[in-house]
């Protein structure tokens, strides 16, 4: 009898995913369950459990009986010992996401940094083997001179450089704090950090978050003209798959990985991709004209939310994902597919304003 070879299945693990109602976390949960792992996830309130389960079910969740929830908040110690009990790997995805101008930077920085340390302490005390931290490109590429540099995970954001907003500071400071903690007090616990560029892709439920807001803003007519801004894009489904690889590949321990793919896209190219994906009628409010840079600079004098983008006008931040491909065996789909999936899901779910 001829044997039929099959792809070896990963050993099932008990995995904690923080912030289970989030965009990236939700896609991580879907893929973890699909691969046979048991998943526990944190929510700030268990009152949200039913709605989160409904969103995941609508997105195609399999075997939801292997998914449980526990109440835990990044700003409180309560619940974290229960959250990490009998857990093999933690995917720490939860973090405040407030790019642009904020009145008090500590509203973003403190929860991100202190919350990360709170999760790491609980994980260490429970004997967790590995923590995968969702950092961001914001911890890599902000505050640098404009040149032909290709960004990798070896780079760190320059905190006192131009254009560094509170969100960029929060991701940089929280990741640096994580590495310092694990190196000094982490015992045998391993840390891996992932640094995705702008994350787009299919919306789950009615919540539009992260860089998907760019797509929604264009579809809703909230961006009447295109600023001269360029964005590297990665699909949320590929980001989730990187999390699963990072939790099991032995060589990933103690490493940072930049998650990017393809060209750096101009805003007008993102708009063109949206129009092609959803058709002229649904994309009627997507702009077609560019905004002169001098107009944006004038507007920034009275609109603080514009100021953080000024240093990057006209600048293409090139990236390399060579390390993620080599060490993790990771690959990513074309960024236009992520944009198209985001736009199509918003139209299908009726998430556009009248």
Tokens of 260: 């990017």
Residue given tokens 């792809």 in the structure block: 7
- The enclosing H or E element of 31 equals helix 23-34
Cβ(150)–Cβ(319) under 8 Å? yes
Phi, psi of 53 (to 5 degrees): -60, -40
Measured between alpha carbons, how far is 170 from 24 in angstroms, rounded to an integer?
18
Ordered structural domains, the chain, with CATH:
14-348 (3.40.50.720)
Q: What is the pLDDT along the chain (354 residues), one digit of tens a residue?
A: 444 444 456 789 999 999 999 999 999 999 999 999 999 999 999 999 999 999 999 999 999 999 999 999 999 999 999 999 999 999 999 986 655 567 788 888 988 999 999 999 999 999 999 999 999 999 999 999 988 999 999 999 999 988 888 889 999 999 999 999 999 999 999 999 999 999 999 999 999 988 999 999 999 999 888 988 899 999 999 999 999 999 999 999 999 999 999 789 999 999 999 999 999 999 999 999 988 777 777 776 777 666 667 777 889 999 999 999 999 999 999 999 999 999 999 999 999 986
């Amino acid at each position: 009898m001829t044997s039929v070879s099959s792809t070896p299945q990963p050993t099932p693990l008990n995995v904690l995913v923080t912030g289970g109602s989030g965009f990236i976390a939700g896609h991580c949960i879907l893929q973890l369950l699909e691969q046979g792992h048991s998943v526990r996830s944190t929510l700030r309130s268990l009152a949200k459990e039913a709605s989160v389960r409904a969103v995941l079910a609508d997105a195609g969740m399999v075997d939801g009986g292997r998914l449980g929830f526990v109440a835990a908040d990044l700003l409180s110690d309560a619940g974290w010992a229960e959250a990490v009990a009998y857990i093999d790997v933690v995917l720490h995805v939860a973090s405040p996401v407030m790019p642009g101008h904020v009145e008090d930077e500590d509203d973003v920085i403190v929860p991100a940094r202190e919350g990360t340390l709170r999760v790491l302490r609980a994980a260490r005390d429970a004997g967790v083997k590995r923590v995968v931290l969702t950092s961001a490109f914001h911890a890599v590429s902000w505050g640098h001179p404009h040149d032909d540099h290709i960004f990798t995970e070896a780079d760190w954001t320059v905190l006192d450089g131009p254009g560094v907003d509170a969100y960029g500071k929060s991701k940089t400071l929280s990741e640096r704090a994580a590495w310092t903690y694990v190196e000094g007090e982490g015992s045998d616990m391993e840390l891996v950090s992932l640094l995705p560029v702008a994350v787009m892709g299919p919306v789950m439920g009615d919540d539009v978050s992260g860089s998907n807001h760019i797509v929604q803003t264009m579809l809703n007519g909230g961006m009447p003209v295109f600023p001269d801004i360029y964005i590297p894009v990665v699909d949320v489904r590929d980001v989730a798959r990187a999390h699963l690889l990072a939790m099991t590949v032995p060589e990933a321990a103690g490493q940072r990985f930049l998650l990017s793919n393809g060209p750096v896209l101009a805003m007008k190219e993102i708009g063109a991709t949206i129009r092609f994906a959803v058709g002229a009628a649904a994309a009627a409010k997507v702009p077609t004209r560019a905004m002169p840079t001098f107009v944006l600079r004038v507007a920034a004098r009275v609109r603080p939310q514009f100021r953080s983008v000024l240093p990057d006008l006209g600048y293409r931040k090139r990236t390399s994902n060579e390390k993620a491909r080599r060490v993790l065996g990771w690959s990513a789909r074309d960024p236009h597919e992520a944009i198209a999936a985001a736009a199509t899901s918003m139209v299908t779910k009726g998430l556009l304003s009248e």
